[in-house]
Amino acid sequence: MVRALLLGMAGLGLRLPEMAEKFTQATVPLDLKRAVIQAAVEQAGLAVLPLLGRGLHDLAMEPTHLALTAGRSAASMLVRWQRLERYIHSKHRIQWLGLTPTSARVNHAHKDTGPAPLAAEDLVVCGVLCALLEANGMHSVRATAADIELYPNPDSHQVLQCVQQGQTATWLLTWQGALDKGSDLDLTVSWAQVAPTTWSRFAFAAGDHVAKCLPELVSVDDAAVALGMSRRTFQRTLAAENLSHQDIQSEVRFRLAGWYLLESEIPVAEIGFVCGYSDQAHLTREFNRRVGVPPARYRDLFSSS
């Protein structure tokens, strides 16, 4: 997200912080994130913070962006964002307080009972979600907090008032229906490029559906419906090939992760999220179990670059 904020600053003509070159990894220490926010506030005030998320639009073909927009719906985007928060073990999480086809009431809070996010962090996350709604094809996206507009046309005096009154943590996000942007987006590597050649057409189709839903995980019932089968028939058909739904999901995640490790320079932490692992430790355990080395070492040993 920090890279997106830096791009957002640049797009608004703001001077980037001196430590900008440090923000090349998928995960960045909290103090550095706050340094970026502080640099933006010092130059343009609190009202600029919700607008920084627009930097996401410059990352449109990167895997994490594609993973957050592949569902092409507001509900799917919010679910995927929550998964990203869990993946990076964020202490601050969003919660839905209500969802309709054209609106969502969202709260931003500590995942347990710890310190609440700073008001500036509330404003930034609100803006990022608005940018993601736009990236998912929604239009006329708007965000308010306590009836004060935060996006897309924040007023500096009103935003300051919102901050002073401690009302920045709960937002009403509204939008109009998705624009027609053609077929759904998929990850930058297709399942066909990495699928086992020994799998049947049925097993391939089951894996392809899993791959297209990542980073969300597909339940057995959803997979069966997608292939036009009952749950029982779906499981029996897989069992006839000595496979299970869990086998399919594990193989898809592992093979896609392996492709990204060898064919891209995407940080390992980002690969884990894109490929549906619960966290980076999960990705590491899987590679240690299946190939005997952790992901970074696998990349060092086998990458052609």
Cis peptide before 117 (omega within 30 of 0): no
Looking at domain 2-176, does it have CATH number 3.40.50?
no
179: Cβ–Cβ under 8 A, 6 or more apart, which residues? 137, 138, 139
Span 221-264, pLDDT tens digits: 999 999 999 999 999 999 999 999 999 999 999 999 999 998 88
Q: What is the mean pLDDT of residues 185-192?
A: 63
Delimit the domains of the chain by residue range.
2-176, 191-302
Span 124-174, pLDDT tens digits: 999 999 999 999 999 999 999 999 999 999 999 999 999 999 999 999 999
pLDDT value, residue 295:
94
Confidence of residue 186 (pLDDT cuts 50, 70, 90): very low
**pTM metric for this prediction:** 0.80
Looking at domain 191-302, does it have CATH number 1.10.10.60?
yes
List the structure tokens of 284. Answer: 């590491």
